[in-house]
Copies of this chain bind each other. A is one copy, B any other.
Amino acid sequence: MSTWNESTGPENDVVISSRVRLARNISGFPFTHIGGENTQKAVYDAVHDASSDLIKNLGLTWVDLRKTTAIDRRCFVEKHLMSPEMTDVKRVGGLILNGDESLSVMVNEEDHLRIQSILPGLQLETAYKMCDDFEEKLGEKVNYAFDEKLGYLTSCPTNLGTGMRVSAMMHLPALVQSGVIKRILEACSKMGVSVRGVYGENSEAEGNIFQISNQVTLGHSEEEITENMAHIIRQIIEKERNVRMRLMNGNKILFEDKIYRAYGILANARSISRAETMNLMSLVRLGIDMGVIDFIDPKNINILLVEIQPGCIQKKYGRELTPQERDEIRAGLCRKMLERETI
């Protein structure tokens, strides 16, 4: 169960979650996309053996992806435990998870290992430490492919060096509404910071949620990358907060009206699409963060953000559902989570 998002972290009025992942490959095996099924099997078995004590001691779970359904895999993607590209591929993959799914390790993804930590709010350092800790422990049992000059070797050269991607999921409704987001995106691009939608490279920024992450993994230490990203994220947080205050003070009634109308629809609809839900949830989240709505627990919005996704809805119901069925169930989930006095 993905319960890490049931608490809120620092700066959670703007930062939904922080994520760090380390790409690692095991010395002596070809990369996943080169090796074919036999290599995948060999890597799978090697990691399975090497991690078995660790899994036992840390209370982790090993998931054999061959035994999962397409719905399971879609749900993993929606929870950010797997990249979208991996769902349709028949591969010998594994997934190691801790209890609240804040730590996850993909086996035979783009790299042999993708060690990831995801935490609520802005907690890059802690997330990095969680990854680093697991990486070190597993490193006692396997040899990571490493080059003195290049650092950790990865399947894609963009991950070379530290193999580290640091990212924050940021809710930026005021920057979007005011148009300021364009300047932010340009500035990020110049600083080697990539900005994507909530579900990766080609996804749109639905619900005004952006994934901000480092592009460069080479030539800096893990600590430098983390610090640099934290600095940039803090600047964006400040800008978003300033514009929010400006928008709210500009016309408080219309600001509140927009938020409450979104709440009214979301708390009453009988059928609602994913896209509309994402957009209305953005306004409700903004309302909670600005103190306009005080009767909804903010964690409910974090839970909904995952629950309303098509894969997770279908996983909960244990079968494929038509889009109409999903829209009805989604509306029911929203009504339940947005009831007054949930706090």
Contact = CB atoms under 8 A, between A and B. Distances in A.
Interface of A: 253-254, 256-257, 260-261, 263-272, 324, 328, 331
List of 7 A-B pairs having minimum Cβ-Cβ separation, nearest first? A264-B268, A264-B264, A257-B270, A260-B268, A257-B271, A256-B270, A264-B265
A283 to B, nearest CB: 11
Contacts of A264: 261, 263-269
A39 B256 CA distance: 55
Nearest to A258: B270
Q: How many copies does the complex hold?
A: 2
B253 A328 contact: yes
A272 B253 CA distance: 11
Contacts of A253: 270-271, 324, 328
A272 B270 CA distance: 23
B269 A260 contact: yes
B270 A331 contact: no
5 contacts: A253-B328, A254-B270, A261-B269, A263-B268, A264-B269
Contacts of A272: 257
A266 B324 CA distance: 25
Contacts of A267: 264, 268
A334 to B, nearest CB: 11
A301 B56 CA distance: 63
Contacts of A261: 264-265, 268-269
Contacts of A263: 264, 268
Which of A254, A270, A271, A328 gathers most chain B CB within 10 Å?
Answer: A270
Given A253-B270, A253-B271, A261-B268, 15 more contacts: A253-B328, A254-B270, A254-B271, A257-B269, A257-B331, A260-B268, A260-B269, A260-B270, A261-B264, A261-B269, A264-B264, A264-B265, A264-B266, A265-B265, A267-B268
A270 B287 CA distance: 13
A293 B324 CA distance: 22
A261 B269 CA distance: 5
A261 B277 CA distance: 13
